[in-house]
């Protein structure tokens, strides 16, 4: 078998650029469209195969070490033969497009608890890839355009016949000059370096629906990075985090809070206007209310994420016993106690703490 370096006419110390130049020169001379003779076709196949081996660093290293493979030129083993017969037949013919779909992007966003009651619209600044404004995705310098590859003649593929245990086999591989595109960009865009896209910040308007919870991901189709050569945008995913609120907490779509009631108000009853997350709410405290009782205000919770309606606002009562009384207040309490039939303290079963009882009642246990 002819030495690949001799076929290309280069030294064994040749650089990748030297190998590429030698191949292009010989390919122009021996290409079937230029030199249709049988001898030229055979030389063209040898030149192409030599270039395929020497232009690949891994294959070149193996070749320099004397590795020729046991299945004939162009094959590294049974897998290559299988690929030749079954894989190559499935490849689509013609050059591949420079345009590719852009990558998806993930962005984390924090919202207030009050924002999720009815939903909110937010404007976000996203660092992403956008179409190059200079070349508008063509990848070429203004006033220029890609030229047809003179090696593959625009097909993006190089065909060659190689010998194997099964005889001569025609194989097809991407052109090493144009990388399978069929065209070569001789004058890349100076702004994007021939990529057709640049990094930039752009504004994205997001509708965050009512009822979202921490960990929920929202998908915005087509709002991700633009692809190479101005290809289709990927998607943007938003991962939501709902910030902690100092007063209100959430259980599903219900909102929960604690209302401190003075002992006298708990005895006589009272009404209180509180500031809920979506406006004031008047709460009626019935006479004789006990700690850990829950007052439910219907339809003042979070809007359901799927479906209509809202959760409830559930307010747990905590009766506050005064700890410091002046002399007159103490006398009044004694007078009040004297009007009631006194009963000695009685030992009874263990009672849960206030917060445990509130939790159980909030959760309906």
Give the Cα separation of 111 and 120 in Å (integer): 9
Which class for 182: exposed (0-12), middle (13-18), buried (19 or more C-beta within 10 A)? Answer: buried
- The phi, psi pair for 27, rounded to 5°, reads -65, -35
Q: For the residues of 95-157, what is the DSSP string, one character each?
A: PPPS--PPPPEEEEEEE-TTHHHH-EEEEEEEEEEEE-TTTTTS-BPTT---EE-TTTTTSSE
Compute and round to an integer the Cα radius of gyration of the chain.
39
Give the Cα separation of 222 and 134 in Å (integer): 22
Which CA distances in Å does 56 have to 51, 59, 95, 207? 8, 5, 21, 50
Q: How many residues in the chain? A: 365
- Cβ of 210: how many Cβ atoms within 10 Å? 16
Residue 135 marked in a binding site: yes
Terminal C-alpha separation, the chain: 85
Residue 178 marked in a binding site: yes
Residue 140 marked in a binding site: no
Residue 139 marked in a binding site: no
Binding-site residues for Zn(2+):
132, 135, 149, 152, 175, 178, 189, 192
Which residue positions form the known binding site? 132, 135, 149, 152, 175, 178, 189, 192
């Amino acid at each position: 078998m002819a030495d690949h370096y001799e076929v290309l006419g280069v030294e064994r110390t040749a650089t990748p650029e030297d190998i590429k130049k030698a191949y292009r020169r010989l390919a122009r001379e021996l290409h079937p469209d230029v030199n249709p003779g049988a001898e030229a076709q055979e030389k063209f196949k040898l030149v192409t195969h030599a270039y395929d081996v020497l232009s690949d660093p891994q294959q070149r290293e193996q070749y320099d070490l004397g590795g020729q493979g046991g299945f004939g030129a162009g094959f590294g083993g049974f897998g290559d033969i299988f690929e030749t017969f079954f894989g190559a037949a499935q490849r689509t013919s013609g050059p591949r497009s420079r345009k590719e779909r852009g990558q998806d992007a993930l962005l984390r966003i924090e919202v207030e608890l009050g924002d999720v009651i009815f939903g909110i619209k937010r404007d976000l600044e996203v660092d992403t890839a956008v179409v190059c404004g200079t070349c508008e995705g063509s990848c070429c310098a203004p006033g220029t355009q890609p030229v047809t590859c003179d090696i593959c003649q625009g097909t993006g593929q190089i065909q060659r016949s190689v010998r194997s245990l099964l005889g001569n086999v025609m194989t097809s591989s991407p052109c090493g000059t144009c990388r399978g595109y069929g065209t070569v960009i001789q004058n890349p865009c100076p702004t994007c370096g021939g990529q057709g896209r640049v990094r930039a910040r752009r504004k994205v308007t997001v509708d965050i629906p009512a009822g979202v919870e921490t960990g929920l991901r929202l998908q915005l189709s087509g709002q991700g990075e633009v692809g190479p050569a101005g290809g289709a945008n990927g998607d943007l995913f938003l991962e939501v985090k709902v910030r902690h609120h100092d007063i209100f907490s959430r259980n599903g779509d219900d909102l929960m809070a604690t209302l401190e009631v003075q002992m006298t108000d708990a005895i006589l009853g009272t009404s209180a206007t509180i500031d809920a997350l979506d406006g004031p709410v008047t709460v009626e405290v019935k006479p004789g209310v006990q700690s850990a009782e829950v007052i439910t205000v219907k339809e003042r919770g979070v809007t359901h994420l799927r479906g209509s309606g809202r959760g409830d606002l559930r307010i747990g009562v905590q009766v506050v016993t005064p700890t410091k009384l002046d002399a007159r207040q103490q006398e009044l309490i004694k007078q009040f106690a004297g009007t009631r039939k006194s009963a000695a303290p009685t030992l009874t079963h263990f009672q849960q703490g206030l917060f445990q009882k509130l939790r159980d009642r909030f959760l309906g246990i």
